[in-house]
Amino acid sequence: MKKELIGKSVLVVEDDPKIRTLVKIYLTNEGYEVLEADNGIVAQEMIEKYDPCILILDLMLPGKSGEEICRWVRNDLGSMMPVIMLTAKASEKSRIDGFKLGADDYVVKPFSPAELMVRIEAVLRRTASRCGKLTFTGLTIKPAKGEAMVDGEPLDLTNFEFKLLHMFMQHPGQILSRTQILDTIYENNEKAVTERTIDVHIKNLREKIKEKTPKDYIQTVRGMGYKFAAN
């Protein structure tokens, strides 16, 4: 069971104790609750146990690399937890690969701790909807944790279904076209994805929700798309 942390919690994953201590001092001075891990295996354990609000992630780590951890967070956990990569890998390819894995920002060593604090605040502002939770008449989603519930009962959603539900709950009452959904949910212009694929995912999402409640949260707007009924 995850332990709920108070305030703005940050997990710093860094095998260099000097850098880890420096970052911790600045974070603590800014009012953050700081967790630490010095290798990839411990980092995974900390993420599962504490579910921090944001992850500061070195890439060259013992145990498991930062790339493996980021891939695990995004794909296996299905978590949208904000991730800032803090690394000595400075090449353009490394930066691009980091963003493709799902990083929200990429900071190269040596770095300015003051600038890192500003970047953390910027990422948290930009990803505010991915922390905390969204709730509408019994339906709750916790984006950073990758959890969705109906009246407290968990929904077993695929990664795509979770992203769909999150998108709908961010835009209650707003009609979303299939094209908008495609552009937002599916990255890298996946060739196999079509508007029909969206319909299938939404159908499956509806069926899973209706197993828990008769309320029709996701409504079809003929000729236009779909909308989330918040009330």
pLDDT in single tens digits along all 231 residues of the chain: 343 333 478 999 999 999 999 999 999 999 888 999 999 999 999 998 887 889 999 999 999 999 999 999 998 887 888 999 999 999 999 999 999 999 999 999 999 999 999 999 999 888 876 666 677 888 988 876 788 999 889 999 998 899 899 889 888 889 999 988 888 776 544 545 677 888 999 999 999 999 999 989 999 999 999 999 876
What pLDDT score was predicted for residue 171? 85
Please tell me whether residues 87 and 142 are part of one structural domain: no
* Number of folded domains that form the chain: 2
Helix (H, G, I), strand (E, B) or coil at 151: coil
CATH number for 16: 3.40.50.2300
Please tell me whether residues 125 and 142 are part of one structural domain: no
Please tell me whether residues 59 and 19 are part of one structural domain: yes
Predicted TM-score (pTM) of the model is 0.63
DSSP 41: H
Task: Print the domain residue range for 101.
Answer: 9-130
Which residue do the tokens 């980021």 mark? 70
Question: Which of 97, 113, 130 marks a domain boundary?
Answer: 130
What pLDDT score was predicted for residue 194? 72
Q: Count Cβ atoms within 10 A of the Cβ of residue 42 and give its class: 0-12 exposed, 13-18 middle, 19 or more buried.
A: middle
Question: Which of 112, 130, 148 marks a domain boundary?
Answer: 130
Amino acid of residue 124: L
Which has the closest alpha carbon to 75: 153, 162, 140?
A: 162
Q: Which two tokens stand for residue 13?
A: 């994953």
Give a yes or no: residue 2 inside a domain.
Answer: no
What pLDDT score was predicted for residue 138? 85
Dihedral of alpha carbons 137, 142, 143, 149, sign: negative
Amino acid of residue 139: L
Which residue do the tokens 């690399």 mark? 65
Which residue do the tokens 């989603």 mark? 141
Please tell me whether residues 39 and 84 are part of one structural domain: yes
What pLDDT score was predicted for residue 6? 37
Question: Which of 130, 158, 183 marks a domain boundary?
Answer: 130
What pLDDT score was predicted for residue 5? 39
Please tell me whether residues 121 and 29 are part of one structural domain: yes
Q: Count Cβ atoms within 10 A of the Cβ of residue 78 and give its class: 0-12 exposed, 13-18 middle, 19 or more buried.
A: middle
Please tell me whether residues 87 and 52 are part of one structural domain: yes
Please tell me whether residues 73 and 28 are part of one structural domain: yes
Give a yes or no: residue 72 inside a domain.
Answer: yes
Give a yes or no: residue 1 inside a domain.
Answer: no
Please tell me whether residues 25 and 108 are part of one structural domain: yes
Please tell me whether residues 109 and 21 are part of one structural domain: yes
Which residue do the tokens 């916790």 mark? 142
- Greatest distance between any 2 Cα atoms in the chain: 59
CATH number for 215: 1.10.10.10
Please tell me whether residues 50 and 111 are part of one structural domain: yes
